[in-house]
Structure 1
Amino acid sequence: MNLDWIKVRSLLTPDRIALVDPIKNSEWTYKEVNVRAENLAHYLKKNGVTKGDRVALYAPNDISYFDVLLASIKIGAIFIPLNWRLKPIEIKKVVEDAQPKVILHASQISKRLSLVDAALLSLDVDSKEYNEICEHPNHVPFLSESIELESPVMLIYTTGTTGDPKGAIITHNGMVNNSMNTIISWNITHEDITIASAPMFHIAGISGMIIPLMLIGGKVIIDRYFDGTNTNEMIKQYKPTMLFMVPTMYYGLISATNFHKDNLASVHTFVAGGSPPLKEVVNYFVSEKLPLINSYGLTEVGPNNFKLMSETALQHPFSIGYPSFFVEAKIVNDQDEEVEQGQIGELLLAGQHTFAGYWQKQEETAKAFLGDFVRTGDLAKKDENGLFYIVDRKKEMIITGGENVLPSEVERVLNAHPAVKDSVVVGYEHPRYGQSVGAAIIFKDKERSEAELDQYMTDNLAGYKTPKHYLFVDVFPTNSVGKTDKKEIIRLLNEWTTVKTIN
């Protein structure tokens, strides 16, 4: 089957502007985007990349995401966007699991690839050589491979239950159906413009709005690294009609010194996703009568599963809305029986947009499904109007600024410190990031300083995974049945945060 959608789009609207990169002071039409992808596909194929191979990219938001994804589709290869916030040892684990044929990378941040086999490092996407390959003047059309709808198009890596990475298999069918659901639910048209601020190595960053908008022929402004002040200037200059950001980014946007409500005059649709809504952000948007849509999703089911109309979003700002087109949702108890309206249970989702399983992990894949439904691990409820709400996370995953942190992974690193006897890692409230990582520590003998622990953790984990506050205790608080009382640890951390904020 011909799934080379960028080629079709380039024939339909060849001269329409598709991408704009303010840093590179460049813009590309749909025809030019397709030509770049075809030129890169020729290069990759010449260098041994064939159908089914994995092609990885390690870069901040950049046109190379579009080049590599679209070239991979033409070849029938599988695109892997690597999280550039991970530490070298974490990236090494992902690469060992995925076994990509090549890794394209941005030289400015490539130091963290130090533990990866240098033979895999292909092109520097910031180099003159890369640009000459993609914009070669003697373009030769590329004959795209015939691909099955259920074949993988992307591997998006997330954290497994053991702390080891696992690649969620996103199929062409899943990507296209998520995009169609999004286009219909949010009324996206070819006249819409967005700014790609969310990191594109996340499913929300690349599939939340970017791919749907390009399928329909809209315009994407590339925001290389989000910064509240800079993004405000971009909004004023490029006048986007739609925004998709992590709640933390909205916080940074509205708290920047150059922010003014008038900056947002061109935007008709605001979408927040990637982590639970922040009260400060929600309160601002409600006070200004600007509807902010909470987009619920996860790597395994895609970023957009529910839909809220603008007026409903203002009336129910913490709801995720109604199931979107062609999405089936249900809430079940611990016996996997559907609960009644108002009761809390685990949210399960089904549809053509969901993932196909985890890369080479059959046992983990089996645990992720109940029949055709994907287990989200999130606790939800449905009100009398049929609106869904996320009330808690069944899993203990911490979501800080849109990034997932598994407590057991952080605990394992902490407990390896020679002075640490035991540790408990939890998420506590943070006004900007939703949650931050905190840890209660029992030392073996002599107490160590936070600075020493900070340095040790920073050397071994990505910054967003390291504890931002420690509780040094002789024993962990326990509940009525003698188990460690994590709620009490969270309460103490939240109490510290409140005092610090007031002070």
Structure 2
Amino acid sequence: MAATIGSALAWWARSKGDRTAIVVDDASLTYRHLHDWSGRIARSLAERGVRRGERVGVLGPNSLEWPVIALGVLKAGAVLVPLNPRLRPAELRKVLDDAGAKVVVFPGEFGETVEATRALGEDFSAIEFAEFTALRDGGREDFRIDLEPDEPTALLFTSGSTGMSKGVICTNRTLLNIVFEASLTEEGLRPGTTTLLVLPLVFTPGLVWGLLMTVVLGGTIVIEKELVPGRAARLLGEHQVQAIFGVPLIFEAISRAPEFQEADLSSLRTAIVGGAAVPVSLLERWANKGVALRQIYGMTEAGGVATATLLQEAADHPDSCGDGSIFTELKVVRPDGAEAAPGEEGEILLRGPGVTPGYWNDPESTATALADGWLHSGDLGTRDEEGRLKFVDRLKDLIITGGINVSPVELEQVISTLPGVEEVAVIAAGDERFGETPAVIVKGDDSLDEARIIEHCRGLVADYKVPRYVVIRDQPLPRLPSGKLSKTAIREEYRDISERFEKVR
């Protein structure tokens, strides 16, 4: 079966070998070089004993090596498991165990993290980036093991509302379907598109809509190691960037940089924003530069972007997320499954060619999420008379901070292990910069203070999960008749937490 990410890369290496594929800082790779280098990595993995279908974790921040190694994993016939570099060892261990990964590739500076992760469970093979960096130069290399269209080729782990990480399965078929659908509309991506990526490669937007979309369409991806707003504004003009995507935080930061006013944005054709509420003032700021920011709705299970505001409707319907895509349908339903009337709130359901076939080794969650042939999002929305979707809220309790999911249950479990904690609830607090940020409400004894709770969290979870608000109370938290904490009552009591309490960090 030749319809794979690897076969697309091989085609561009043959037909447009001198075209620039990847740019990171002052370094760049042509398609010929990218194909050969990733092929040598694939062969090396196979020679090390990595078998077809085996899960391989790739850890680390954005770099020149990361995307090449990721492509090497795919070309080795293995299953790519991107690992968030901000996770702590216990969090990494959970993902690796869930995936059944026996190999982890990492940059040298993560050596201590990898060893600490190793110590928490079964051993795994650890390979430093440097061993694959040494393969950068060499002869032609066409090594490639193609998986069947519906075999898993990547697992993208996303937090669930239960606090349990779930591996969303991507196959060559779903990934190529996402690319195909995205390239069919006038405002969509095209072969040869230049994209600026200021998001981490390890998440769905960076991996699927950044790297893999670029490789399949033979484009150029300019990868930034971190967001530097003024530099990003300059790069948009210097590279004649045609596509950029991200959470509102990114577009806000770029638009506030002094360089934005003088930036040449004339080449920018596709600018999509999502993952949090999008202020109208932000849309207006980019519109004044001739760029229509199009709001999207999507989720990892649907390939990242399921629907986006049509270009011609961006100005008149700024709070709309469009009405689906060419092949992706959506509907809003009542609790009984009947379609909601226009303007009536209900759960958002999706179906289309980019929807995941399920969760890794989790048939129960798969059956629940994909009931009746539709992906049940757990999100609340409405549709207008013309079918345009408006996202309202999450039925789930997930907190989205800066576009990254944080599970309240996970944080509650971590904080509950701190001596002195009797009850704990984590809710979302409004935040001007990140959209939302975790806030913790605790009932405990006199030994507790904000500093102890924050320090405890810092040692166990990534920094973006550490609460920015801590409230310690001596009264029990509200509960339901069943005995469970009443999150509805807690959220209502602390709906203005960001106004009543000071941030603790």
TM-score (normalised: structure 2):
0.91
Distance 1:110 1:332, change over 3 A: farther
Please say if residues 183 and 213 of structure 1, whose CA atoms lie closer than 8 Å, have aligned partners that are also in contact. no
1:14 corresponds to 2:17: yes
Distance 1:383 1:130, change over 3 A: same
Per-residue displacement from partner, 1:145-177 (whole Å, max 9, x unpaired)? Answer: 342211111001112343232211111111111
Q: How many correspondences in the alignment?
A: 492
In structure 2, distance between residues paired with 1:487 and 1:161: 16
Q: What is the CA-CA distance between 1:288 and the residue it aligns to?
A: 5.2
Equivalent residue for 1:491? 495
Amino acid at match of 1:130: F
Could you tell me which runs of 5 or more consecutive residues in structure 1 were left unpaired when the two chains were aligned: none
In structure 2, distance between residues paired with 1:112 and 1:249: 28
Please say if residues 295 and 303 of structure 1, whose CA atoms lie closer than 8 Å, have aligned partners that are also in contact. no
Q: What is the CA-CA distance between 1:360 and the residue it aligns to?
A: 1.0
Q: What is the CA-CA distance between 1:296 and the residue it aligns to?
A: 1.7
Could you tell me which runs of 5 or more consecutive residues in structure 2 were left unpaired when the two chains were aligned: none
Distance 1:60 1:405, change over 3 A: same
Equivalent residue for 2:54? 53
Please say if residues 398 and 407 of structure 1, whose CA atoms lie closer than 8 Å, have aligned partners that are also in contact. yes
Q: What is the CA-CA distance between 1:447 and the residue it aligns to?
A: 5.6
Please say if residues 346 and 382 of structure 2, whose CA atoms lie closer than 8 Å, have aligned partners that are also in contact. yes
Q: What is the CA-CA distance between 1:256 and the residue it aligns to?
A: 3.3
Amino acid at match of 2:496: L
Q: State the secondary structure of the residue aligned to 2:318.
A: coil
In structure 1, distance between residues paired with 2:423 and 2:108: 39
Equivalent residue for 1:374? 375
Equivalent residue for 1:399? 400
Equivalent residue for 1:298? 299
Per-residue displacement from partner, 1:191-237 (whole Å, max 9, x unpaired)? Answer: 42111211111111211243223322211111112232442343343
Distance 1:494 1:278, change over 3 A: farther
In structure 2, distance between residues paired with 1:296 and 1:86: 26
Q: What is the CA-CA distance between 1:244 and the residue it aligns to?
A: 1.0
In structure 2, distance between residues paired with 1:404 and 1:270: 22
Instruction: Name the % identity.
Output: 27
1:84 corresponds to 2:85: yes
Distance 1:64 1:101, change over 3 A: farther
In structure 2, distance between residues paired with 1:110 and 1:462: 17
Please say if residues 189 and 213 of structure 1, whose CA atoms lie closer than 8 Å, have aligned partners that are also in contact. no
In structure 2, distance between residues paired with 1:361 and 1:148: 21
Q: State the secondary structure of the residue aligned to 1:7.
A: helix
Distance 1:236 1:364, change over 3 A: same
Distance 1:115 1:401, change over 3 A: same
Please say if residues 272 and 296 of structure 2, whose CA atoms lie closer than 8 Å, have aligned partners that are also in contact. yes
Per-residue displacement from partner, 1:228-277 (whole Å, max 9, x unpaired)? Answer: 24423433432312111222222222233544253534323211133342
Equivalent residue for 1:325? 326
Amino acid at match of 1:336: G
Equivalent residue for 1:312? 313
Please say if residues 83 and 201 of structure 1, whose CA atoms lie closer than 8 Å, have aligned partners that are also in contact. yes
In structure 1, distance between residues paired with 2:190 and 2:486: 54
Q: How does 1:207-226 map to 2 (within 5 A)?
A: 207-226=208-227
In structure 2, distance between residues paired with 1:407 and 1:441: 13
In structure 1, distance between residues paired with 2:323 and 2:382: 12
Q: What is the CA-CA distance between 1:322 and the residue it aligns to?
A: 1.8
RMSD: 2.4
Per-residue displacement from partner, 1:335-356 (whole Å, max 9, x unpaired)? Answer: 2222222211111111121112
1:465 corresponds to 2:468: no
Per-residue displacement from partner, 1:356-379 (whole Å, max 9, x unpaired)? Answer: 211111112111112221111111
Q: State the secondary structure of the residue aligned to 1:355.
A: coil
Q: What is the CA-CA distance between 1:290 and the residue it aligns to?
A: 3.1
Equivalent residue for 1:448? 448
In structure 1, distance between residues paired with 2:66 and 2:178: 19
Amino acid at match of 1:13: K
Q: What is the CA-CA distance between 1:448 and the residue it aligns to?
A: 3.0
In structure 2, distance between residues paired with 1:174 and 1:164: 24
Q: How does 1:146-185 map to 2 (within 5 A)?
A: 146-185=146-185
Q: What is the CA-CA distance between 1:411 and the residue it aligns to?
A: 1.2
Which of 134, 143, 147 aligns to 2:136? It is 134
Distance 1:288 1:219, change over 3 A: closer
In structure 2, distance between residues paired with 1:490 and 1:237: 47
Q: State the secondary structure of the residue aligned to 1:208.
A: helix
Q: State the secondary structure of the residue aligned to 1:277.
A: coil
TM-score (normalised: structure 1):
0.91
